[in-house]
Structures are given as C-alpha cells and as structure tokens.
Amino acid sequence: MKIAGLFAGVGGLELGLRQGGHESVVLSEVWEPARAVLAERFSDVPNIGDVERLRSLPADVDLLTAGFPCQDLSQAGKTAGINGRKSGLVGHVFRLIDQSRPRWVLLENVSFMLQLDRGSAMDRLVSAFEERGYRWAYRVVNSLAFLPQRRERVFFLASTEGDPSDVLLVDEVQPRVQATDLRTHAHGFYWTEGTRGLGWGPDCVPTLKNGSTVGIPSPPAILLPNGEIVTPDIRDAERLQGFRADWTKPAAAVGRASFRWSLIGNAVTRPVAAWIGKRLTKPSRFDPSRDSAAFTGVRWPRAARFDGETRREVHISAFPAWKTRPPLQEFLKYQPTLLSERATAGFLSRIEKSSLRFVPGFKERVRSHLDHVRAIDRFVDGRLPRLDAAE
C-alpha cells in the first residue's frame, strides 16, 4: 500500500509498515526535532509539515495513518479529551477522508482513551467512521509482546473494502512471563513517582514517557540485580522502542539533546507496526467465536469490531506474539547512569511515606543505593562502581 502518515513523529509507524512491504509517499510532522529525524531517516519522502497544509491526499494513497497527539487523552496528561487543543487535531483525519476517501485508515493512541469521559473519544471516532461507510476494528496491543517495555496502545483500523478484523484480531499468544526475583532480574520503575504508583515492571521497563516539550527528559529507573539503580542511555531507550541506536540523533542538531526522550516517548513501537504491516499484506481469517454480545459504547472494551451493522466486543489479549528476548539487564547495551543521590533521596522519602505495597526487599535496595551514591565522588576508571546487593 501507499501510505500518507500524519503526525508522523520519528516514523515508528511508517518504519514498521515498511517491513510489511508498504511505502510512505507523504508525511506530515510539524515539530522541528522530529522533522530533523524524518529528513534523515526518510529522506526520500516529502514532509509537508503542518497537517493543515495538506488539502487532500495524493491520488495513489491507499492507507492513511495517524498517531495523533495523545496529550489530551493520556492519563499522565491534561485529560481534556478528544476535543482538546492537541488531540482535537484528529479532525484533520476526517477532513482528508472526506476529501480523498482512502481505502484504509490506521490510528494509534493511548489506551486511556477507552475510559476518558466514559469513552467519548472512542464514540466520536467510531461514529465518524460508521457514518462514512467504514468497517472498523481496534485492539489494545502491548509492546511487551516484542520487547522488554510494557506499553499498551490502542490500534484502530478502518476500511471500505476489507475486514479490519482479519488484520488486528487474528493473532494471539500466551505471554511467556516467568517469575522474577530482585536478585536475578532487573526491574523497571519510575523514580519520579512513589506515592500513588511506580509503574513497576519485572524484567522490563514501564511505558517510556515523552518527557516534556521544554527538554526535561523522563527516563525510567532500573533496579539491577547487583543492587544499583540506573537510568538507561537514550540509545537503549530507542532500542526499547524497536529502533536502532541513535535513530533520533538528528534531533540534537536542531534542539536540546534531551528532546530525544520526548521523541522516543511519543513514538509508535516499531515491531508492533511491523506486525500490523505484515498482516495488512497477508490478512488471516477472524474467528467469530471471539465475538461477544453487541454493545452500545457506554463501556468500551479492550478490543472490538464493527461488521457494517453491529458493534461487538472481541475476546482477545493484548499479545499478538511473544518474541524471545534476553533478560533486561542483558538487553541494555550502553553504559547507564547511576540514579543520583538527590533523586534517590527524594524517591526514598516518598515511598517511605506511601501506603503502597512494594516488592519485599525493594525499599532496602533503594536505601542501599542511596548509601552507595553518597560514597561516590566520581566514576572509577571511567566505569560505574559496582555494588554487591548482598552486602
């Protein structure tokens, strides 16, 4: 298929779809750091910038994609809803559909949109597609199916000619998640939290966040089996999204280097997009036994479809695959940074006052790490000093 990619970011959706044999012919991305990445990584694809400048789609476009801004839909954002200043930009998707009527449309956004305002965002989306004669299917997919990052996103596919259920709702596996132990596996969490939640992830990192538009990075922390608490290098964060290391490096030439964290936090996980791209090329056959009773849209399930007449919940997990991967501590290739004394002390203070229940031994390791970093004035021989968790 020929693709028009709106709100393209750093091209995660487009890069993954390319693996399925599809070709991007036009992109739309307005933020300068992301534009710099696209200019180098998709040098042969024109980027028209502001989506408002795109009056209609090129005649050969088969698939319109849009990872439209999630700031107004995210639980971590302003939760202003689908009509918020950022997320309301999805209206341009419908404008272009009305102008050009592409055969396929693929949207991506945060899973919280299923709950926000009792699902009004989803109701607006599906109603708009139904009014235009599209069949649709959507599914929450977890990036953990492919990589050691727990990241749930909604993928919504609509079509005027095919059945989106044959693409999104056909693959399912049981994740091979094994029991972990603080002594043998790394565990990811967010040190910026601690009173209401951690985003705790055994043998994985929690959802990579977009940081801030003023350049404040938001990397997770990782508790290593030896007791050290580190934050990953940006190149490993890129790899945790399925990009090659330094994919976002061109952004540093036009803005703060820390903008790269926002770019990677906003990105679509490449292997998820690749799975969709391959299924678009070679659809399977939806099993109608997965259907449940029709629903009205008051409560939006984690997977559903519209067959042209009825909306139905679909029983399917967030795991279309389970790719073999090394333990998190072995997945990391680049030198991480020790969580600083100030950051550790602040986090420890918050969790000691919190009513949250923590994994046995976690608080003790945080205290031990704090003692560790307080004793360090500098790196030794250019390498991170080691900490024996048993001591």
Domain parsing of the chain, residue ranges: 2-176+268-314, 187-241+326-381
CATH 3.40.50.150 fits 2-176+268-314, yes or no: yes
In the DSSP assignment, the letter for residue 53 is G
Task: Please say whether the beta carbons of 8 and 27 come within 8 A.
Answer: yes
Q: What is the pLDDT of residue 72?
A: 39
Question: What is the pTM (predicted TM-score) of this model?
Answer: 0.90
SS3 31: coil
Task: Please say whether the beta carbons of 218 and 263 come within 8 A.
Answer: no
Q: What is the pLDDT of residue 384?
A: 56
Q: Which residues of 293-317 are buried (b: 16+ CB within 10 A; e: fewer)?
A: eeeeeeebbbbbbbbeeebbbbebb
d(CA 373, CA 385): 9
Write out pLDDT tens, residues 116-125. Answer: 777 777 888 8
Place of tokens 């490096």: 249
Query: Residues in the chain, how many?
Result: 391
Q: What is the pLDDT of residue 386?
A: 58
Residues in the chain where the model's pLDDT stays below 70: 69-88, 212-214, 297-298, 377-391
d(CA 288, CA 368): 54
Helix (H) or strand (E) holding 230, with range, is: strand 229-231
- The residues annotated with a catalytic role in the active site are 70
Q: Which amino acid is at 321?
A: A
Instruction: Return the structure tokens found at 180.
Output: 């972990």
d(CA 379, CA 198): 28
Q: In what order do the strands lie in the sheet with 2-6?
A: 23-28, 2-6, 63-66, 104-110, 152-159, 135-142, 303-306, 311-314, 291-294
Write out pLDDT tens, residues 168-221. Answer: 999 999 998 777 899 999 999 999 988 888 899 999 999 999 876 667 788 999
